[in-house]
Amino acid sequence: MNAEKIELKGLFPEELAQHVSDMGLERYRTRQLVDWLYNKGVTDFESMTNLSKTVRAQFDEQFTLLRLNCVGELRSSSTDTVKFLFELPDKRLIESVLMWDGKRRTLCVSSQVGCPLDCQFCATARMGLIRNLTAAEIVEQVLYAQRFLRAEGDELTHVVMMGMGEPLLNFDQVIRAIRLINLDYGAAVGIRRITLSTVGHVPGIAKLAREKLKIGLAVSLNATTDEQRSEIMPINRKWPIAELLSAVRAYYDQVRRWVTFEYVLLHGFNDTAEDAYRLIDLMRDIPCKINVIPWNPIEDAHYERPPQKAIDRFVDMLSQAKLTATVRYSKGDDIAAGCGQLYWEMEKGVK
Q: What is the pLDDT of residue 187?
A: 84
**Could you state, in chain order, the average pLDDT of each consecutive group of 10 residues for the chain (351 residues)?**
81 94 94 88 91 94 94 84 94 94 96 94 88 98 95 96 97 98 89 98 98 97 98 98 98 97 97 98 97 85 91 98 90 57 50 44
Domains 6-64 and 69-348 share a fold: no
Q: What is the pLDDT of residue 331?
A: 59
CA 142 from chain centre, in angstroms, equals 10
User: Hey, which residues does 194 pair with through a beta bridge?
Assistant: 159
Cα separation, 85 vs 141, whole angstroms: 10
Name the residue type at position 155. E
Q: What is the pLDDT of residue 125?
A: 85
Instruction: Work out the angle between the directed axes of helices 135-150 and 171-182 (0-180°, nearest 10).
Output: 30
Q: For the structural domain made of 69-348, what CATH number should be given?
A: 3.20.20.70
Task: Spell out the domain ranges in the chain.
Answer: 6-64, 69-348
Q: What is the pLDDT of residue 4?
A: 87
Q: What is the pLDDT of residue 115?
A: 94
Which of left, alpha, beta for 12 (phi over 0: left; psi -120 to 50: alpha)? beta
Query: For 313-346, b where at least 16 C-beta lie within 10 A, e where not — what string?
Result: ebbebbeeeebebeebebbbbebbbbbbbbbbee
Q: What is the pLDDT of residue 347?
A: 45
Q: What is the pLDDT of residue 7?
A: 94
- So which residues are the catalytic ones? 95, 339
Q: Is the whole model's pTM more than 0.75, yes or no?
A: yes
Its CATH architecture, for the domain 6-64, is Orthogonal Bundle (1.10)
Cα separation, 202 vs 200, whole angstroms: 6
DSSP character string of 36-79: IIIIS---SGGG-TTS-HHHHHHHHHHEE----EEEEEEE-TTS
